[in-house]
Structure 1
Amino acid sequence: MHSVPLDHIGIQLYTVRNIMATDPQGTLNALGAVGYATVGVSGLYGHTPERFRAMMDTAGVRAVLTHTSWDAMNADVQRELEIARILGVRYVVVPSLPGSLRTVAGYTHAAAKFQEWGIRCRGAGMKFLFHNHDVDFAKVDGKVLFDVLAERTDARFVNFELDLYWIIKPGYDPVAYFERHPGRFPAFHVKDMAANGSFEDLGYGTIDFPRIFARYAQSGVREYVVEHDTPRDALLTARRGQEYLATVTF
């Protein structure tokens, strides 16, 4: 029987974005007090990277990844890597692609850019990841767009933060992807799904996380990052997520 390592349980700060905007230090402190070891950064809320890092240090949490954007990476990769270095992250993540790229040719172009950025990240001592949504599993001209990214990138430089909700929602099986692309999923967005298909707090929904987590060696997962896009009570959602990951066995 296995469990999630406590020091690899995190939360994407997007989940608590509304309270981060008004009280970032208090929010980070609360997340640390709940038991989170790590966070995924979703913007700096007007603070410098140095100030944001200091707030995380005060709260006793460390950033394992940061979400930047396709446009920001295209504009100035070096600046994004410098921000990531200050934050202390291991993974630099592009969380979505522009709708204008939603073709096989567009995703082929994105894969080539990811390769470039992955090489730059590796040179800076970090790793590059792409985070999926359901649209990335659309089939265009008979090809699943996500597959273009996986097949046209080198695992030495480009891997994936797999959002478990957004791969399951369009009808795909994470385990099948672990089998096809072993070791390429070092981070999970652990997001649960209600019976009606909407977002749900961890452990209160329908996704069989133990089945997915049991393939930890095959997936390559290291970081388990709680996320909920529209929580009613963000800190309650956060507490439930940490408690679920801290106690689930597989």
Structure 2
Amino acid sequence: MKIAAQLYTVRDFTQTPAEIEKTLKKVKKIGYDAVQVSGFGPIEAVKLKELVDEIGLEICATHISFDRLKNDLDNVIKEHKLWNCKQVGLGIMPEEYRSSADGIREFLQEIAPVAKKLKENELQFIYHNHNVEFANYGDKTGMDILLEESDPDFFDFEIDTYWIQAGGADPAEWIKKVKNRMDVVHFKDMTVDGWDPQMAEVGEGNLNWPRIIKACSDNQVEWACVEQDVCQRDPFESLAISLQNLKAMGL
């Protein structure tokens, strides 16, 4: 399994082309050789390709808005082909679909032709979970519905370890559940501050990383993307700590 930096972690530093260039160089200097593109401000696709090639980074995955996936898919496909990036991610389904089982099923109907067209163009749709997908609808959670009622030929997952735990589920078990349907996983840790859970650098919190990493290895996950939506220190330092800890774990 290869390690990448999910650049949503440093989104405050990627809002202009100049900031993006500076951030990519800093991430490379920390020790990452690959990134997931998310939370960027405007930048031409060709310019981004030039930057990552010059700096020596691979784009392993992205997060693309639901609106662009629905209404600008041809350009999304062209960008990913240019970047040599196969994994096309959606960070979360739009809010209007999240409040009921029927809403989740409607989302699956809406995204199905998008995922199919990506596959036809040798790209892969991946869905990134939060904790909201673990709301119960009768005897199933929303995540159960996504897994059981999506087309395994076109719809893959991007399990987020923190948000699985925050939803009251077991990250390692969910990595096993999506076997053969996940090439990219999000690694972030969880600690506690008083009564409240808090995001932490990988290895600095309470998640069971030996089990999580073994589950990923057993299921041939290709990319572990380090992400921390909220950092308690400089986010570049957080990325460095997570990378250092993962290497100490043998990755």
Query: Is this a same-fold pair by TM over 0.5?
Result: yes
Equivalent in the alignment of 2:78: 82
Q: What displacement does 1:249 show?
A: 3.6
Q: What displacement does 1:217 show?
A: 4.5
Q: What displacement does 1:195 show?
A: 2.5
Gaps of 5+ in 1: none
Root-mean-square deviation (CA, aligned residues, Å) is 1.7
Give the 5 Å matches for 1:98-247.
Answer: 98-102=94-98, 103-196=100-193, 197-231=197-231, 232-247=233-248
1:77 and 1:19 map into 2 onto residues whose CA distance is 27
Equivalent in the alignment of 2:13: 19
Aligned amino acid, residue 193 of structure 1: M
CA contact 2:175–2:216 (8 Å) conserved in 1: no
2:189 and 2:217 map into 1 onto residues whose CA distance is 22
Aligned amino acid, residue 171 of structure 1: G
Q: What displacement does 1:187 show?
A: 1.1
Gaps of 5+ in 2: none
CA contact 2:88–2:124 (8 Å) conserved in 1: yes
2:183 and 2:37 map into 1 onto residues whose CA distance is 16
1:76-109 deviation line (CA, Å, top 9, x unaligned): 2222222222222110001111221121111112
1:195 and 1:219 map into 2 onto residues whose CA distance is 29
Change (3 A) 1:113 1:170: same
Aligned amino acid, residue 15 of structure 1: T
CA contact 2:92–2:127 (8 Å) conserved in 1: yes
Q: What displacement does 1:218 show?
A: 4.2
Equivalent in the alignment of 1:50: 46
SS in 1 for 2:59: strand
SS in 2 for 1:185: coil
Aligned amino acid, residue 221 of structure 1: V
TM-score by length of 1: 0.91
TM-score by length of 2: 0.91
